[in-house]
Amino acid sequence: MIQYSWLIPTMPALAYVVIILFTRRSRILSGLISIFTMAICFAFSVGILLELLAKAPADRSIPLSWTWLEIPPWSANVGVLIDPLCVNMLLVVTLISLLVQIYSWGYMHDEERFSSYYSYLSLFTASMLLLVVSNNFLQIFVGWELVGLCSYLLIGFWFFKPEAADACKKAFVVNRVGDMGFLMGVVTIGMVFGTFDFKTVFDAVTLGIANGTYDTTHHYIAGIALLLFCGAVGKSAQFPLHVWLPDAMEGPTPVSALIHAATMVAAGVYMVARTYMLFSADPFAMTVVAYTGGFTAIFAASIAVAQNDIKRILAYSTLSQLGYMILALGVGGFTPGMFHLTTHACFKALLFLGAGSVIHGVHNQDIWKMGGLWSKMKITGTTFFIANLAIAGIFPLAGFWSKDEILSAVSESKIPGHEILYYAAVFTAFLTAFYMFRLFFVVFMGQPRDHHAYDHAHESPLTMTGPLMVLAVLSICVGWLNLPGVDSFSKFLHYGEYHEEVFHMGIAIASSIVALAGIGLAFVFYISKPELAGKTADTFKPIYLLLKNKYYVDEFYGWMVKNFLFGFATICTWFDDNIVDDGMVDGTGWITRKMGSLFTLTQTGYVQNYALVIFAGVAAIYLFVSF
């Protein structure tokens, strides 16, 4: 099965082509093709997992490579690198994608461009899978850009809404900043190592460090690693390139669940994990990564506290959780980071899909227009509650285990100032529990605030609630993959030698208490004493406004662009319009065209002239060669 693993990204790509070219007119056929392909891909991934598990741990990294373009001695390959990291990602992507596609069947039911929607989803999944299976930097870059493109298409799916059109542009431009760094990193790798292949590059680095060719004190490798990290910062929406993700919520909600919560935004984390070799070679790179992640985690969580749009709250929560993962990787917790990616994919997808179900019911996104929905939407409410418990890190749900491992990893790490990071992470856990339950209490509990919306509210169809229930079960159980002492996940997926995960009872208790405190505070503010929330906000008005306005980062960027970039751009435009465009481009075009007309004058149409040219040609060549 592993030999045919290249089929995994190929099949959804083919589905995309088929839908675009042939079945666009039939909604049902297009949707079924897309969903069916994804089901096959998921089954395929499970098959690969089983085959991999049957092998000895040492043989679990299987590269397959084909030459793509070749000019000896240089060649570009395409290939597949199947290893535990890749398979883990494959399972997450295919499963979430499958569930989201099934869910979309109900959610997008009245959409006119239903087939286009499914074709984009297929293309997105194909690109994501291409990124995941790739065995070299060039290919991962191709996948990287393709998911960016799909994200753009899907955020702007309702392009007639000005907010959506703006949001997709913003996402694209902000990502471009990160991608620039990533591309520079890839090119640097090509120049330094002469190859783009992961294994070759990593082996070269290992060898170079062992025999002292690469001096880590000059942060040579760290430079490359941090360039790559720029890409991850853009795609995984870390500070300071986080601004695009909350706006990306203008896309259809299932898209938010799939792309902007569970899979694509995790691509940055995955890429860091994939090239972990380069990061772990230099403590400096690791420190930068850890602080970026830690800061984003607490920064985004604090913003989420003061937001009122159901999807935006979840978006900031995603930022914060991605920060957690990056933090874990930065402090050397490879397995915790990937484990959290996996569990987070389940409960965050569930939260978004649940939010989608709510929006589907009340046709609104403002949490202050909802309330008391529990009685109307039992399944959505229950599953949402489970997801909340999971993300808050309540025993024994998924989030508890993965968050706990991250906290342990941070507390054990050796990077400077890890205590600060640890307390930041714990405080983030508190904030997470608080804002998630604030959301839950406001939306599902209490009294209905907008009776018109409340009367309309209804439970969603089975195509939507089905995936919710599956994800709810996963949100409960996925954490048990890595029970302390059993460590099945850690044994499967680890970086370097396998170390037994140490379970710190202290940390577990501390994080549980913090989470319960957060829930308790939310209960007090939004259920038992609702007036207290407003009072607190008034008391700390400056802080509240700061949070509500997301620390004015967007405004700052806007101001920067307006005052510096526009001035510079005006000069550039003048130069471009007058000198480059009129002078050089048009001039070149004019000269080329004139020369073309001039040369066609030689085409007289007289056969004797043509014969003369042939004769003169031979004669000229003879003279040319002779003298």
Partner 1 sequence: MINYLTFLPEIILVCTAILILVVELFQAPSSKRSSIRWIAFLGTLAALLCLSCLSGSCPLGCNLTDGTAQQAFNGFIKTDGLALYFKMIILLATLFTLLMTYRHFETHKTPYPAEFLAILLFSAAGASALTSAQEIITLYIALETLTISSYLLASFMKKDKGSNEAGMKYLLLGAFSSALLLFGFSYIYGLTGTTVITEIAKSLAMQPSSPLAVFALILVVGGLAFKISLAPFHMWTPDVYEGAPTPVTAFLSVASKTAGFAAFVRLFWVGLNVPSLQPIWMGLFAVLSAMSIILGNLEAIPQKNIKRLMGYSSIAQAGYIATGFLAIGPMGLTALLFYIFVYLFANLGVFLTIVIVANKTGSEQIEDYAGMWKRSPLIGIVLLVCLLSLAGVPPFAGFSGKWYLFGAAISKGYTWLALIGMTFSVVSLFYYLQVAKQALVVAPKDPSPIEMSLLERSVLILCVVVTVTLGVWPRPIMDLAQAAASSLF
The CA–CA distances, whole Å, from 135 to 78, 334, 473, 583, 613 equal: 7, 19, 33, 45, 56
CB of 159 to partner 1, least distance (A): 21
Question: Does the bond joining 240 to the residue before it have cis omega, within 30 degrees of 0?
Answer: yes
Q: Of 191 and 625, which CB lies nearer to partner 1 in the complex structure?
A: 625
Burial 366-403 (b: 16+ CB within 10 A, else e): ebebbbbbbebbebbbbbbbbbbbbbbbbeebbbbbbb
Q: Of 76 and 184, which CB lies nearer to partner 1 in the complex structure?
A: 76
- Burial of 516 from C-beta contacts in 10 A (0-12 / 13-18 / 19+): middle
Looking at residue 408, its amino acid is S
Give CA–CA dist 523/441, Å, rounded: 7
Handedness of CA 172, 173, 178, 183 (dihedral sign): positive
Give CA–CA dist 254/256, Å, rounded: 5
Q: Which residues bind to partner 1, rule: CB under 8 A?
A: 66-72, 589, 592-593, 595-597, 599-600, 602-603, 605, 607, 609-611, 613-614, 616-618, 620-622, 624-626
Q: Of 68 and 559, which CB lies nearer to partner 1 in the complex structure?
A: 68
Q: Of 14 and 547, which CB lies nearer to partner 1 in the complex structure?
A: 14
The CA–CA distances, whole Å, from 270 to 83, 88, 152, 264, 342 equal: 13, 10, 20, 10, 11
Note whether 367 and 308 are within 8 A (CB): yes
CB of 169 to partner 1, least distance (A): 23
Question: Does the bond joining 73 to the residue before it have cis omega, within 30 degrees of 0?
Answer: yes
The CA–CA distances, whole Å, from 400 to 101, 233, 292, 340, 493 equal: 28, 26, 23, 10, 19
CB of 616 to partner 1, least distance (A): 8
Decide the pairing of beta strands 74-82 and 62-71: antiparallel
Which H or E element spans position 144?
helix 137-155
Pick the closest to residue 402 from 480, 514, 505 (CA basis). Answer: 480
HSE-up of residue 120 (Cα within 13 Å, Cβ side) = 22
Q: Of 80 and 325, which CB lies nearer to partner 1 in the complex structure?
A: 80
Q: Of 58 and 625, which CB lies nearer to partner 1 in the complex structure?
A: 625
Q: Of 66 and 160, which CB lies nearer to partner 1 in the complex structure?
A: 66
Q: Of 545 and 612, which CB lies nearer to partner 1 in the complex structure?
A: 612
Give CA–CA dist 305/525, Å, rounded: 12
CB of 603 to partner 1, least distance (A): 6
CB of 123 to partner 1, least distance (A): 15
Give CA–CA dist 471/477, Å, rounded: 10
Give CA–CA dist 557/564, Å, rounded: 10
Cα 323 off chain centre by: 12
- Give the tokens for residue 13: 């790509």
Pick the closest to residue 324 from 347, 356, 353 (CA basis). Answer: 347
- Give the tokens for residue 606: 């007289």
Q: Of 119 and 357, which CB lies nearer to partner 1 in the complex structure?
A: 119
Q: What angle do CA 354, 357, 359 make, to 5 degrees?
A: 110
CB of 624 to partner 1, least distance (A): 8
Looking at residue 418, its amino acid is H
Note whether 182 and 141 are within 8 A (CB): yes
Q: Of 211 and 600, which CB lies nearer to partner 1 in the complex structure?
A: 600
70 secondary structure, DSSP code: E
Give CA–CA dist 304/436, Å, rounded: 9
CB of 14 to partner 1, least distance (A): 12
Q: Of 150 and 424, which CB lies nearer to partner 1 in the complex structure?
A: 150
Which H or E element spans position 403?
helix 398-412
CB of 608 to partner 1, least distance (A): 9
Task: Please tell me whether residue 558 adopts helix, strand or coil conformation.
Answer: helix
CB of 184 to partner 1, least distance (A): 21
CB of 94 to partner 1, least distance (A): 23
CB of 176 to partner 1, least distance (A): 20
CB of 128 to partner 1, least distance (A): 18
Give CA–CA dist 427/324, Å, rounded: 12
Q: Of 545 and 613, which CB lies nearer to partner 1 in the complex structure?
A: 613
Within 8 A by CB and 6+ apart from 619, the residues are none
CB of 626 to partner 1, least distance (A): 7
CB of 77 to partner 1, least distance (A): 11
Q: Of 462 and 620, which CB lies nearer to partner 1 in the complex structure?
A: 620
CB of 627 to partner 1, least distance (A): 12
Q: Of 160 and 606, which CB lies nearer to partner 1 in the complex structure?
A: 606
Q: Of 68 and 564, which CB lies nearer to partner 1 in the complex structure?
A: 68
Phi, psi of 81 (to 5 degrees): -120, 105
CB of 617 to partner 1, least distance (A): 4
What are the start-end ranges of the E strands in 320-394?
Answer: none
Q: What angle do CA 495, 498, 504 make, to 5 degrees?
A: 105
